[in-house]
């Protein structure tokens, strides 16, 4: 008879034989759960959006108005690309030689803005609209566009799920991440009320890029080329879809460099990842026609400095570093990277004399965690149970919130803006140019296709200075002076909003900011700057022009008004 030891060996052999099947089944279940979490989250976003706006039942112009501020500007390029009879090559040519967005200045929209996603969605829609079932389910370009944004948000949850799964080696933690996304909805996404902002397109690819980075760092043998290629492509798409990608990637670069210092055995892998990111950034630079924002990013400067320290420095400083305390050596390398990064970045900016980012350095609020596998098998199993319990508790609690959110049925209602857009479309020349508040101008572009003098995409010094001049319509300036500015900028119509013109002076209103930029004391006073600001006796332009007289009538003509807006033709 076989001994007890032999019986135990047989049982262990059977377990070893079943292990690949169990692992395969576990991966399959985890993948299905990840996809389901993405679908559920996308559906959640769509339901919230529909409940808030009754989106599928309102008029097309109301749907377009609901895309506030820069969202309307981005949508306008998609709307232009899905026009009947317009080919993809014609659309690209129009975007590369656009005179409508910053009239009469010609700009390359593909270089200035991150709108490749609109071009991709328009191409997909133009090919799918030939399929009857598709047209029945998604009847209009707008519905397809908005639902695609929700689908990408769901894809982002799936990729985040995969990232957490890879980091903690259990898909149960991915369920916990999904639960936290739902429970902290207001802090985790803006997709349900600003559907097409750039980060909604970009972040899913950032989570995917991190997923492949974790998989690559976990490899103890040769790194698969497919993982490195996927890492590069996802980095490229993240950089292409969001103008502020560099700040997120800078944090990631810093983390990778610190990992290389703390775990020297991973230095070669880190160098490989940084090189792959350089390749991705190079392709993004080419795709955006040499956009200075990509070339001058702090991220590329830091990566170049990190590569110098990780590759070049050890060859010259090996004797010194061997005799130095590892902590001191790591500190010295960190100082060297920061100093070299600053030198590279300053040199690039001096060489190009670029000032695109002078308004940005109030950005970056992020959180970064580093995974360390120090848990034991029993502790890991306990952790899974706790994570699953927390996830279930969060989702159970969130279900009541979900029911309350869905029960609050609302409808988009902005009759004054609808009336304005319909009047512009029917009563003004298509070639006319318009100026007004930045957020309203994006809506004008989306709804009417008219030429704009200013818009809310602010990553351009020339446009910022032009907007400051155009905003004199809310300043204490003579009517003749404002008229001269508008004629110089070739503006045909201006739109004044009472919500801005009649806003209470509190030091931060649009009127106050215009006054301060003009060196004028705001209506509410500004005690800390009273000695440096002058008191103006000139009435505010937007208030003065409300009551037309002989002087104002010779410069402007009121052509439209309602409870919210006044439109004047510049004579």
What's the token pair of residue 333? 């390398």
Contact (CB, 8 A) for 195 and 248: no
Q: How many residues does the chain have?
A: 571
Q: Which residues pair with 561 in a beta bridge?
A: 566
Burial 338-362 (b: 16+ CB within 10 A, else e): eebbeebbeebbeeeeeebbeeeee
Mean local confidence (pLDDT), 295-311: 86
Mean local confidence (pLDDT), 424-444: 93
Q: Supply the pLDDT for residue 327.
A: 75
The most confident of the ranges 14-23, 167-176, 237-246, 388-397 is: 237-246
Kindly write down the DSSP assignment for every residue of 279-292, as one continuous string: HHHHHHHHHTTS-H
Other C-beta atoms closer than 10 Å to the C-beta of 502 total 13
> What does the alpha-carbon distance between residue 367 and residue 251 come to, in Å, rounded to a whole number?
9
* Mean predicted lDDT score pLDDT of the chain: 83
pLDDT band of 76, cuts 50, 70, 90 = very high
What's the token pair of residue 444? 């004008």
For residue 125, whether the previous peptide bond is cis, meaning omega lies within 30 degrees of 0, is no
Q: Supply the pLDDT for residue 9.
A: 53
Burial 428-467 (b: 16+ CB within 10 A, else e): beeeebbbbbbbbbbbbbbbbebbbbbbbbebbeebeebb
Q: Supply the pLDDT for residue 43.
A: 92
Q: Which residues 6+ apart lie within 8 Å of 266 measured at CB?
A: 217, 259, 260
Contact (CB, 8 A) for 146 and 192: no
Between 294 and 319, name the one with better pLDDT: 294
Q: Supply the pLDDT for residue 395.
A: 67
The most confident of the ranges 226-230, 307-311, 394-398 is: 226-230
Other C-beta atoms closer than 10 Å to the C-beta of 57 total 11
The arrangement of secondary structure in 415-570, i.e. its CATH architecture, is: 3-Layer(aba) Sandwich (3.40)
The most confident of the ranges 196-200, 202-206, 460-464, 545-549 is: 202-206
- CA 258 to the chain's CA centroid: 27
Q: Supply the pLDDT for residue 241.
A: 94
Q: How far is CA 201 from CA 115, 231, 251, 442, 522, in A?
A: 10, 17, 20, 19, 40
pLDDT band of 261, cuts 50, 70, 90 = confident
Element spanning 186, H or E: helix 185-188
Q: Which residues 6+ apart lie within 8 Å of 473 measured at CB?
A: 435, 436, 482, 494, 496, 541, 542
Which DSSP symbol is given to 538? S
Q: Which residues 6+ apart lie within 8 Å of 271 measured at CB?
A: 260, 307, 310, 311
* Long-range Cβ pairs for the range 465-468 (8 Å, 24+): 466/102, 467/438, 468/517
Mean local confidence (pLDDT), 351-367: 52
pLDDT band of 370, cuts 50, 70, 90 = very low
Mean local confidence (pLDDT), 48-73: 88
Other C-beta atoms closer than 10 Å to the C-beta of 549 total 10
The per-residue pLDDT for range 86-125, each reduced to its tens digit, is: 999 999 999 999 999 999 999 999 999 999 999 999 999 9
> What does the alpha-carbon distance between residue 242 and residue 203 come to, in Å, rounded to a whole number?
9
- Which of 86-95, 221-230, 312-321, 527-536 is least confident? 312-321
Share of the chain above pLDDT 90, in %: 41
- CA 549 to the chain's CA centroid: 46
Q: At what angle do helices 4-53 and 377-407 cross, to 10 degrees?
A: 20
* Long-range Cβ pairs for the range 172-177 (8 Å, 24+): 172/384, 172/387, 172/388, 172/391, 173/384, 173/387, 174/30, 174/33, 174/34, 174/37, 175/33, 175/37, 175/387, 175/388, 175/391, 176/387, 176/388, 176/390, 176/391, 176/394
Burial label, 385 (beta-carbon count in 10 A; 0-12, 13-18, 19+): exposed
The per-residue pLDDT for range 497-529, each reduced to its tens digit, is: 999 988 888 878 888 888 888 888 887 776 666
Element spanning 550, H or E: helix 550-553
**Is a pLDDT exceeding 90 seen at residue 484?**
yes
Q: Supply the pLDDT for residue 378.
A: 38
Burial 200-218 (b: 16+ CB within 10 A, else e): bbbbbbbbbbbbbbbbbbe
Domain(s) labelled CATH 3.40.50 in the chain stretch across 415-570
Q: Supply the pLDDT for residue 538.
A: 87
pLDDT band of 369, cuts 50, 70, 90 = very low
Q: Which residue, among 161, 195, 180, has the nearest Cα to 45 in the 3D structure? A: 195
The per-residue pLDDT for range 463-472, each reduced to its tens digit, is: 888 999 999 9
> What does the alpha-carbon distance between residue 84 and residue 90 come to, in Å, rounded to a whole number?
12
Mean local confidence (pLDDT), 473-486: 93
Q: Supply the pLDDT for residue 426.
A: 94
Q: Which residues 6+ apart lie within 8 Å of 270 measured at CB?
A: 256, 257, 259, 260, 310
Between 258 and 370, name the one with better pLDDT: 258
> What does the alpha-carbon distance between residue 373 and residue 186 come to, in Å, rounded to a whole number?
31
What's the token pair of residue 427? 């009563």
Kindly write down the DSSP assignment for every residue of 218-231, as one continuous string: H-SSPPPHHHHHHH
- Which of 30-39, 248-257, 336-345 is least confident? 336-345
Sign of torsion over alpha carbons 53, 59, 62, 63:
positive
Mean local confidence (pLDDT), 372-388: 49
pLDDT band of 382, cuts 50, 70, 90 = low
DSSP 3-state assignment of 301?
A: helix
Between 275 and 362, name the one with better pLDDT: 275
**Is a pLDDT exceeding 60 seen at residue 270?**
yes
> What does the alpha-carbon distance between residue 234 and residue 214 come to, in Å, rounded to a whole number?
14
Q: How far is CA 281 from CA 96, 364, 440, 460, in A?
A: 21, 20, 33, 20
């Amino acid at each position: 008879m076989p001994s007890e030891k032999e019986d135990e060996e047989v049982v262990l052999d059977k377990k070893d034989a079943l292990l690949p099947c169990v692992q395969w089944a576990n991966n399959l279940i985890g993948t299905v759960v990840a996809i389901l979490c993405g679908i559920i989250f996308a559906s959640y976003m769509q339901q919230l959006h529909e409940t808030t706006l009754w989106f599928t039942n309102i008029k097309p112009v109301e749907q377009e108005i609901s895309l506030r501020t820069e969202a309307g500007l981005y949508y306008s390029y998609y709307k232009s690309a899905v026009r009947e009879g317009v080919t993809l090559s014609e659309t690209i040519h129009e975007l590369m030689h656009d005179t409508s967005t910053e009239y009469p200045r010609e700009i390359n929209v593909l270089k200035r803005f991150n709108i490749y996603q609109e071009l991709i969605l328009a191409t997909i829609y133009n090919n799918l609209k030939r399929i009857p079932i598709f047209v029945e389910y998604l009847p209009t370009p707008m519905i397809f566009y908005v639902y695609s944004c929700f689908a990408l948000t769901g894809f982002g949850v799936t990729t985040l799920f995969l990232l957490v799964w890879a980091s903690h080696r259990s898909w149960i933690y991915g369920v916990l991440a999904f639960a936290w996304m739902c429970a902290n909805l207001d802090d985790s996404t803006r997709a349900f009320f600003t559907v097409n902002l750039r980060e909604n397109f970009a972040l899913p690819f950032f989570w995917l890029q991190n997923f492949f980075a974790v998989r690559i760092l976990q490899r103890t043998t040769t790194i698969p080329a497919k993982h490195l290629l996927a890492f590069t492509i996802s980095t490229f798409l993240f950089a292409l879809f969001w103008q502020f990608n560099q700040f997120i990637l800078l944090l990631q670069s810093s983390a990778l460099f610190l990992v290389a210092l703390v775990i020297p055995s991973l230095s070669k892998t880190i160098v490989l990842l940084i090189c792959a990111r350089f390749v991705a950034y190079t392709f993004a630079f080419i795709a955006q026609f040499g956009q200075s924002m990509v070339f001058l990013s702090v991220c590329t400067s830091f990566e170049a400095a990190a590569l110098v320290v990780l590759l070049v420095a050890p060859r010259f400083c090996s004797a010194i570093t061997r005799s130095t305390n590892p902590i001191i050596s790591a500190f010295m390398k960190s100082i060297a990277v920061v100093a070299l990064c600053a030198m590279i970045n300053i040199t690039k900016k001096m060489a190009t004399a670029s000032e695109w980012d002078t308004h940005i350095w109030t950005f970056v609020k992020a959180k970064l965690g580093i995974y360390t596998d120090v848990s034991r098998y029993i502790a890991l199993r306990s952790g899974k149970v706790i994570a699953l319990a927390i996830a279930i508790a969060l989702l159970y609690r969130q279900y009541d919130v979900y029911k309350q959110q869905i029960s609050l049925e609302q409808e988009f209602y902005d009759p004054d803006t609808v009336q304005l857009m319909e009047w512009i479309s029917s009563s003004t020349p298509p070639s006319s140019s318009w100026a007004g508040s930045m957020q309203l101008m994006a809506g004008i572009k989306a709804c009417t296709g008219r030429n704009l003098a200013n818009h809310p995409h602010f990553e351009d010094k020339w446009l910022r200075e032009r907007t400051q001049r155009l905003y004199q319509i809310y300043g204490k300036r003579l009517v003749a002076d404002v008229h001269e500015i508008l004629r110089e900028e070739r503006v045909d119509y201006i739109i004044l909003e009472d919500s801005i013109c009649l806003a209470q002076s509190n030091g931060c209103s649009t009127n106050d900011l215009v006054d301060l930029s003009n060196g004028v004391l705001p209506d509410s006073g500004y005690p800390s700057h009273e000695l440096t600001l002058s008191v103006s006796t000139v009435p505010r332009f937007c208030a003065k022009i409300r009551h037309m007289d002989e002087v104002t009538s010779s410069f402007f003509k009121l052509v439209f008004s309602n409870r919210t807006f006044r439109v004047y033709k510049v004579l």
